[in-house]
């Protein structure tokens, strides 16, 4: 059915419609609408069915993109769903929040000259449609196994592993210190990028499939790591990275200067209907305030756009490099600008002014210097260029590092890198402790949901192999 494809020469690229700025500033609903059937079919039919699909090569999951695009263009959506779900545990989530411009779509061969196929939006459409039509089947292993696996961390890495191990019949126990499943997908990423119902729908699917969750359970505090290790046949650590990077400068301890994740968690909890005193008393709420967010990554973008929705009087993002050198997705910067955020590029905080509460940030202009060993340009302050920005809420979004995991788990033999990430054998995901594996941000450092899913799936395959090998050695010894 080749005639259904290769339409990129006469069909222009269309992304799903965005909600009007005036509406989306008022709520936390996703800003992109879903494709309708015609939109998805047309856009899928633009694919040129490349012999070497660079889109797949640059997708961390190596999704079979041309295949599910072709099936979508042909109206064979259930088959498209099956192929999409074979390589991705949460396609509807990746379709919404992957930085496609840097991954699949940024490497689509028709990008030059014709604009890429809108791969993410079609991927999301396929699985949302599958849920609506009851094609997403519950996890029902063909045989149950007696062996159990403990997963510490209910973020995308842990959940992808949980699904893959349950499919193989293992008894899967997921521990998380939070009261809800999803990790940063539930408490970090705001609803305007990923509505909470999408994550809750997957949580129910995992529970229905027999995954057991032990929530409000901080391993190393309420539960001992050694006890879990002794109780299960293998352990997967997928705890993410949460230690906020700090800024210095006079006045940095003033009230009104808050860490990004505290701010986002409060907002997400409020949206989920929780009682959040720090939101209600105004300390973690931007309503009516002049807000300055420091940082240029995805977290900073989520903070500025959350502040807009909470009714901030003004929102400024202060970043020490320029737009071209910022780590956050350019799509999200454009969305933030549309929503009224002011970006002050090439500027860094010097001091925080105020008596009993922050009242302003004193910033200094920066210029970009020579490239360092990593290829990034250095940044230097410009003498005498200081200026003040009024602020009554300052949000620090400078990135995250791992906690001290050997200490947190009371396990000095757990090897970590010089950055504090857990060291694994990259082929098998096993740590320095036999039978203990690790995946996701705690291995890579702050990364992406799609990479955590990839790691979780690969680690599950290695855990399966490890348990089976151990069983056959034990059998041979009998």
Comparing CB distances to ligand SF4, the nearer of 59 and 341 is 59
Comparing CB distances to ligand SF4, the nearer of 98 and 360 is 98
Comparing CB distances to ligand SF4, the nearer of 58 and 470 is 58
Shortest separation between residue 241's beta carbon and ligand FAD, angstroms: 7
Shortest separation between residue 154's beta carbon and ligand FAD, angstroms: 5
Integer Cα distance of 106 and 104 in angstroms: 6
**Displacement of CA 206 from its chain's centroid (Å):** 19
Does residue 431 belong to the site contacting ligand SF4 (CB under 6 A)? Answer: no
Q: How many residues does the chain have?
A: 478
Integer Cα distance of 334 and 336 in angstroms: 5
Question: Is 84 exposed, middle or buried (CB count within 10 Å of its CB: 0-12, 13-18, 19+)?
Answer: buried
Does residue 156 belong to the site contacting ligand SF4 (CB under 6 A)? Answer: no
Integer Cα distance of 250 and 351 in angstroms: 5
Binding ligand SF4 (rule: CB under 6 A), the pick from 41, 43, 48, 285 is 48
Integer Cα distance of 105 and 119 in angstroms: 6
Choose the one of ligand SF4, ligand FAD, none that binds residue 109, judging by a C-beta under 5 to 8 angstroms depending on kind.
ligand SF4
User: Applying CB under 6 A, which residues contact ligand FAD?
Assistant: 97-98, 152-158, 175-178, 183-185, 188-189, 193, 218-220, 238-240, 264, 298-299, 302, 408, 440-441, 447-450, 452
CB-based contacts of 322: which residues, under 8 Å, 6+ apart? 345, 346, 368
Maximum separation of any 2 CA atoms in the chain, in Å: 78
Does residue 123 belong to the site contacting ligand SF4 (CB under 6 A)? Answer: yes
Integer Cα distance of 219 and 64 in angstroms: 37
User: Which two three-digit tokens encode residue 12?
Assistant: 């222009």
Integer Cα distance of 153 and 159 in angstroms: 8
Comparing CB distances to ligand SF4, the nearer of 52 and 477 is 52
Comparing CB distances to ligand FAD, the nearer of 220 and 406 is 220
Shortest separation between residue 93's beta carbon and ligand SF4, angstroms: 9
Does residue 452 belong to the site contacting ligand SF4 (CB under 6 A)? Answer: no
Binding ligand SF4 (rule: CB under 6 A), the pick from 31, 40, 80, 108 is 108
Say if CB 276 and CB 284 are below 8 A apart: yes
Task: Tell me the pairing of strands 360-371 and 377-381.
Answer: antiparallel
Comparing CB distances to ligand SF4, the nearer of 104 and 307 is 104
CB-based contacts of 76: which residues, under 8 Å, 6+ apart? none
| Cα-based torsion angle of the residue sequence 301, 238, 63, 29 in order, rounded to the nearest 10 degrees | -40
Q: Over the range 449-458, which residues count as b (16 or more CB within 10 Å of their CB) and which as e?
A: bbbbbbbbbb
Comparing CB distances to ligand FAD, the nearer of 257 and 366 is 257
Binding ligand SF4 (rule: CB under 6 A), the pick from 16, 39, 66, 158 is 66
Choose the one of ligand FAD, ligand SF4, none that binds residue 199, judging by a C-beta under 5 to 8 angstroms depending on kind.
none
Integer Cα distance of 175 and 168 in angstroms: 20
Does residue 59 belong to the site contacting ligand SF4 (CB under 6 A)? Answer: yes
Handedness of CA 317, 322, 324, 328 (dihedral sign): negative
* Region near ligand SF4 per CB under 6 A, out of 114-122, 142-150, 178-186, 273-281: 114-122
Binding ligand SF4 (rule: CB under 6 A), the pick from 53, 158, 256, 349 is 53
Handedness of CA 244, 246, 247, 253 (dihedral sign): positive
Task: Report angle CA 461, 200, 273 to the nearest 5 degrees.
Answer: 145
User: Which two three-digit tokens encode residue 324?
Assistant: 């071209």
Does residue 291 belong to the site contacting ligand SF4 (CB under 6 A)? Answer: no
Question: Is 104 exposed, middle or buried (CB count within 10 Å of its CB: 0-12, 13-18, 19+)?
Answer: buried
Binding ligand SF4 (rule: CB under 6 A), the pick from 4, 33, 50, 327 is 50
Choose the one of ligand SF4, ligand FAD, none that binds residue 66, judging by a C-beta under 5 to 8 angstroms depending on kind.
ligand SF4
Q: Which of residues 72-101 bind ligand SF4 (CB under 6 A)?
A: 88, 94-95, 98, 100
Comparing CB distances to ligand FAD, the nearer of 152 and 293 is 152
Does residue 110 belong to the site contacting ligand SF4 (CB under 6 A)? Answer: yes
Shortest separation between residue 183's beta carbon and ligand FAD, angstroms: 3
Choose the one of ligand SF4, ligand FAD, none that binds residue 395, judging by a C-beta under 5 to 8 angstroms depending on kind.
none
Choose the one of ligand SF4, ligand FAD, none that binds residue 237, judging by a C-beta under 5 to 8 angstroms depending on kind.
none
Shortest separation between residue 158's beta carbon and ligand FAD, angstroms: 5
Q: Which of residues 221-260 bind ligand SF4 (CB under 6 A)?
A: none
Identify which of 4, 94, 42 has the alpha carbon closest to the alpha carbon of residue 448.
Answer: 94
Q: Which residues bind ligand SF4 (CB under 6 A)?
A: 47-50, 53-55, 59, 61, 63, 65-66, 88, 94-95, 98, 100, 103-104, 108-110, 117, 119-120, 123, 450
């Amino acid at each position: 059915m080749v005639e259904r494809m290769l339409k990129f020469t006469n069909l222009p690229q269309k992304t799903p419609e965005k909600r009007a700025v005036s509406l989306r500033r008022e709520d936390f609903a996703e800003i992109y609408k879903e494709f309708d059937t015609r939109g998805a079919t047309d856009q899928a039919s633009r694919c040129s069915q490349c012999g070497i699909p660079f889109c797949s090569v640059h997708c961390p999951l190596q999704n079979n993109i041309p295949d599910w695009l072709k099936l979508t263009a042909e109206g064979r959506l259930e088959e498209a769903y099956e192929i999409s779900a074979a390589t991705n545990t949460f396609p509807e989530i990746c379709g919404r929040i992957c930085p496609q411009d840097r991954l699949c779509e940024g490497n689509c061969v028709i990008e030059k000259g014709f604009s890429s196929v809108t791969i993410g939006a079609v991927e999301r459409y396929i699985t949302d449609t599958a849920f609506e039509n009851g094609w997403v089947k519950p996890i029902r292993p063909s045989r149950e196994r007696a062996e159990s696996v403990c997963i510490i961390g209910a973020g995308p890495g842990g959940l992808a592993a949980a699904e893959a191990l349950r499919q193989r019949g293992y008894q899967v126990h997921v521990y998380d210190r939070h009261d809800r499943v999803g990790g940063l997908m539930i408490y970090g990423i705001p609803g305007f990028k990923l509505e909470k119902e999408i994550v809750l729908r997957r949580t129910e699917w995992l529970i229905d499939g027999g995954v057991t969750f032990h929530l409000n359970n901080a391993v190393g505090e309420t539960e001992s790591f050694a006890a879990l290790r002794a109780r299960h046949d293998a352990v997967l650590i997928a705890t993410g990275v949460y230690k906020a990077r700090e800024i210095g400068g006079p006045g940095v301890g003033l009230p009104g200067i808050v860490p990004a994740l505290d701010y986002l968690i409060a907002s997400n909890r409020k949206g989920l209907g929780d009682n959040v005193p720090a939101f209600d008393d105004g300390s973690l709420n931007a309503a009516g305030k002049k807000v300055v967010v420091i940082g240029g990554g995805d977290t900073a973008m989520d903070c500025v756009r959350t502040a807009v929705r909470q009714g901030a009087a003004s929102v400024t993002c202060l970043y020490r490099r320029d737009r071209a050198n910022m780590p956050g997705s350019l799509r999200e910067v454009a969305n933030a600008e549309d929503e009224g955020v002011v970006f002050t590029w090439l500027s860094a905080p010097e001091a925080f002014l105020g008596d009993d509460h922050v009242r302003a940030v004193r910033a200094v202009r920066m210029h970009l210097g020579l490239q360092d060993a990593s290829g990034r340009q250095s940044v230097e302050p410009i003498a005498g260029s200081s200026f003040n920005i009024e602020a009554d809420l300052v949000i620090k979004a400078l990135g995250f590092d791992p906690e001290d995991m050997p200490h947190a788990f009371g396990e000095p033999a757990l090897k970590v890198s010089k950055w504090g990430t857990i060291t694994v054998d990259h082929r098998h995901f096993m740590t320095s402790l036999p039978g203990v594996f690790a995946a996701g941000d705690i291995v890579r450092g702050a990364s992406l949901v799609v990479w955590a899913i990839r790691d979780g799936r690969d680690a599950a395959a290695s855990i399966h192999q490890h348990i089976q090998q151990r069983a056959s050695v034990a059998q041979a010894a009998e």
